Amino acid sequence: MAGAKLDPIDRHILAELQADGRMTNVELAKRVGISAPPCLRRVRTLEEQGYIRGYHAEIDSRELGFEVQVFAMVRLNSQAESDLTAFEERCRSWPLVRECHMLNGEIDFILKCVAPDLSSFQSFLTGDLLKAPNVANVKTSLVIRGSKDEPGVPFEVLEERIARQA
């Protein structure tokens, strides 16, 4: 099972840093029950091994004037690998597209977009996304309100699974 190479302290460190990524190392060490130096070494190792991909401030995009959030469901004409990667590359170049996921089923890609207002989004939609090569059609849905937003790992589930198999 993946993640089993980590001992309980490592998992505790990850959970704490996911909840508060700016915690000082001594505070982190106190919480996970070891002293500061080994705690710091563990954090560095977790970073090097790719368990921690980075640290980010969570910014309120609405406060900064991005009032609109939209999900766009995209269907392509061709699903050849080169066409898929070409579309992915385009998504990476569009700043209003914050996430892009390739899906199975009828929809090829789902995009999470932000925009200052509806008209900005519309001009992106008609001027960029719908004009991109190979795009067959796009269905968009406005986010009325956010109900839950906790990207990351549910450590409760992880611990439960590990406890059960132990």
Q: How is residue 151 annotated by DSSP?
A: -
Q: Which of 100, 116, 114, 123 has its CA nearest to residue 142?
A: 114
Binding mask 84-123 for DNA (x = CB under 7 A): ----------------------------------------
Told to check if 46 binds DNA by CB under 7 A, we report no
Do 94 and 131 meet the contact criterion of CB atoms below 8 Å apart? Answer: no
Which is closer to a copy of itself, CB of 66 or CB of 125?
66
Do 9 and 34 meet the contact criterion of CB atoms below 8 Å apart? Answer: yes
Told to check if 18 binds a copy of itself by CB under 8 A, we report yes
Told to check if 103 binds a copy of itself by CB under 8 A, we report yes
**Distance of closest approach, residue 50 Cβ to a copy of itself, in angstroms:** 6
Binding residue (CB under 7 A) for DNA from 19, 20, 21, 25:
25
Which is closer to a copy of itself, CB of 53 or CB of 131?
53
131 binds, among a copy of itself, DNA, none (CB under 5 to 8 A by kind): none
How many Cβ atoms are within 10 Å of 93's Cβ, its own excluded?
8
Which residues have CB under 8 Å from 153's CB, separation 6+? Answer: 14, 15, 18
Binding residue (CB under 7 A) for DNA from 38, 95, 133, 154:
38
Q: What amino acid occupies position 44?
A: R
Cα 92–Cα 96–Cα 98 angle in degrees, nearest 5 = 60
- Which residues in 68-87 contact DNA (CB under 7 A)? none
**Interface positions with DNA (CB under 7 A):** 9, 24-27, 34-38, 40-42
